[in-house]
Structure 1
Amino acid sequence: MDFDTFLGEVESRGQLASTEDALRATRITFEALGRRVDAEDAERLGAQLPGELERFLTKEDAVERFAWGEFVGRLVEAGDYDEGAGGTAAYHARVVLSVVDDATTEGAVGAVRERLPAEEDWDELFALVDRSGQAADAE
């Protein structure tokens, strides 16, 4: 999937107002996720994405351990969302991950997911990926 198609999918699925909003949602999601997962995992996933997007995911080398709630807080802050817009920021991140799942080889998103703590609410990030997989299984 090329850069423009990727952003078009994020814009459409997320019902965002513009391509710029889609790029912002993608950038902040990738930057926050890139800080949370090992550099090797980020590079492996990023290698399957357009170079313009890969750089957001792979710009950090050091891994930070933070919970789902802090991830959402980072999205809100970096995306300049209104206060109390954590649900919107989290939804946009879920949209981005669903497009990533469609744009990469099977199992690429799952490999990143396996690195996140199972006991926390990280499954929230993959809710649309799960829903898409269930729909595909039903066909």
Structure 2
Amino acid sequence: MDFPEFVQSVATRASLSREESRDLSRATLELLGHLISSGEAREFALELPDELRDYVRQGAEHTERFDYNEAVRRIHQRVGLSEPESDRGIRAVLATLRDAVSEVAFNNAMSQIGHEFLQVIP
């Protein structure tokens, strides 16, 4: 999946504009990078469109732990979407990631981010 397809998928799933979905995708991938090991981030990034790879890697430079509600709050503050839009957006990015990368890469990365994140994927 290339970058325009990724963004369009997020836009459709989250009912957001392409611009909002582009910003949301970048912010969410950086946020996910915070939740996975740097090694896993490097591996996962290899399967992403070029325009998104560095966001995961940058996030992995500062690994931390937080729950899904905190992720929604951070995306809301960073991207400027409402909290319900941020919630829908994160769900859309996760669902699009599931379609965009191999099952192995997706499962390996998601195994590190916490069970509640997996529960929100439509």
Aligned partners of 1:46 and 1:58 also within 8 Å = yes
Count how many residue pairs are aligned between Structure 1 and Structure 2: 121
Shift of 1:43: 1.6
Task: Identify the residue that residue 89 of structure 1 maps to in structure 2.
Answer: 86
Matches within 5 A, 1:123-138: 123-125=118-120, 127-128=121-122
Q: What are the superposed Cα offsets for residues 79-136 of structure 1, whole Å, 9 maximum, x if unpaired?
A: 1124xx2x32121111111111111112222111211334xx33344x22xxxxxxxx
Q: In 2, distance between residues paired with 1:122 and 1:99? A: 14
Task: Kindly report which structure 2 residues correspond to 1:47-66, keeping only aligned pairs within 5 A, or say none.
Answer: 47-60=46-59, 61-66=61-66
The answer to whether the 8 Å contact 1:38/1:62 transfers is no
Q: Which residue of 1 aligns with 2:10?
A: 10
Instruction: Measure the CA separation in 2 of the matches of 1:53 and 1:109.
Output: 15
Q: Which has the higher contact order (CA 8 A, sep 6+)?
A: 2
Identity of aligned residues (%): 26
Return the index of the structure with the highest Cα Rg. Answer: 1
TM-score, reference length from structure 2: 0.87
More helix by share: 2
Q: Would you identify which runs of 4 or more consecutive aligned residues in structure 1 move more than 6 Å?
A: none
1:42–1:58 CA contact under 8 A, matched in 2: yes
Distance 1:30 1:100, change over 3 A: same
* Alignment root-mean-square deviation, CA: 1.6
TM-score, length-scaled by structure 1: 0.78
